[in-house]
Chain A
Amino acid sequence: KNEVEQSPQNLTAQEGEFITINCSYSVGISALHWLQQHPGGGIVSLFMLSSGKKKHGRLIATINIQEKHSSLHITASHPRDSAVYICAVRSGKLFYFGTGSSLTVIP
């Protein structure tokens, strides 16, 4: 069972490119989270969304509740953005995670 699907699984971009990572989910949710996991393994919480759009620096996250879909955009990508980006949804009291999208930004 895959409650959360992400695409692409792997992505390589040139520095400065606009990046989009997509997340689709199949369960009813109360919130959707985007997480960032760096090569060392540490996980950082980027966004929590229940509707609309949020922006933090060069990162933008959107959610369409009706379509059960969210996107994470990175504008003017930089090598330090290289990481695995994970979509997670809260359904009731449980969390379900996508398998992650691995981004490599080349200088």
Chain B
Amino acid sequence: EAQVTQNPRYLITVTGKKLTVTCSQNMNHEYMSWYRQDPGLGLRQIYYSMNVEVTDKGDVPEGYKVSRKEKRNFPLILESPSPNQTSLYFCASSLNQGIHGYTFGSGTRLTVV
């Protein structure tokens, strides 16, 4: 089944403890991206990647890192999480820059205390 898999689905962590949210797709998509969703603000793009070893900042990249060493994986790294990074995170991928739409992961609900 074609899908984007995010892990974990839920995560509670403490301020300053490094964490990684994984994202993997099995569709050979070039484009992958991370978003956060907050009440009243909607979805906002954090980082995106056009292909392996090609990543760039989105609208709200502060406090996040990404890497794209393989085409299928695009992990989101929070080196020193803070409470304002408590949010619902989505990973998405697409072929041909979204001409055929985007496939989203199921989301990761992160709470930083």
Chain B contact residues, CB within 8 Å of chain A: 33, 35, 40-45, 48, 50, 56, 58-59, 88, 90, 92, 97-104, 106-107
* Cβ of A88 under 8 Å from chain B: yes
What is the total number of residues of chain A having a CB less than 8 Å from a CB of chain B? 22
The answer to whether B45 touches A94 (Cβ under 8 A) is: yes
> Smallest CB–CB gap between A62 and chain B, Å?
17
* Cβ of A43 under 8 Å from chain B: yes
The answer to whether A88 touches B107 (Cβ under 8 A) is: no
Residue of B56, B97, B102 contacting most chain A CB atoms (<10 Å): B102
Stretch at the interface among A13-21, A63-71, A72-80, A97-105: A97-105
CB-contact partner of B56 in A48, A88, A90, A93, under 8 A = A93
Interface of A is mostly: strand
List 15 A–B pairs whose Cβ atoms lie within 8 Å, in order of A's numbering.
A31-B98, A33-B98, A33-B101, A41-B106, A43-B90, A44-B104, A45-B103, A46-B101, A48-B98, A48-B99, A48-B101, A94-B59, A97-B43, A98-B42, A99-B41
> Smallest CB–CB gap between B47 and chain A, Å?
11
* Cβ of A42 under 8 Å from chain B: yes
